Structure 1
């Protein structure tokens, strides 16, 4: 897991509609170790006038990766599903979006799952 050693800027995110939740335990792929995380996806849909087709919809997909300890994956998954069910926005800071191709972007949260849940307990 990377560690932020200096914060020169940060971007605030507010996820209004969690479209999907994917839980990934830590592991090893081809000799590369990776930490546990939860990925959530959300979509913005805009309408554009197209000369050939008329009104068309364009999707912008954002995937947010939130680091989490293996032992806390189940609790964080339940926490996110609770927010999803109650239509409560999820707020955190993270990296600038990286282009993942074809109108898709990826963001990594600066806060881990424990920090995010603790912030909601204070509210």
Structure 2
């Protein structure tokens, strides 16, 4: 992995649903390219979305009923598919958000605990 690539983080598949749904909830309908660029922008270019990751995820989310799509014209007047969050997607976003917070809190416990202190307490 080259140094430039090492500085960028690929989005974990499990978090992609959360990021897409939250972005669509906050910003309204976006086409795929705009959605990817917006997520990268919000993350200050830490997260990178490539087409091979994003578009299959969008298709899956649409099949699940979490997002809907319709064809329209992009800012450059090109034909583009615009994605919007659905009511079902808002419910899924609430579930994903809660799960992420729970997991994040759990990981924080592991990052903050001192194994040496626990060993001393047992000893």
| Structures share fold, TM-score greater than 0.5 | no
TM range (shorter): under 0.3
Specify which structure has the higher proportion of strand: 1
Higher-Rg structure is 2
* Normalised TM-score (structure 1): 0.25
* Normalised TM-score (structure 2): 0.25
Specify which structure has the higher proportion of helix: 2
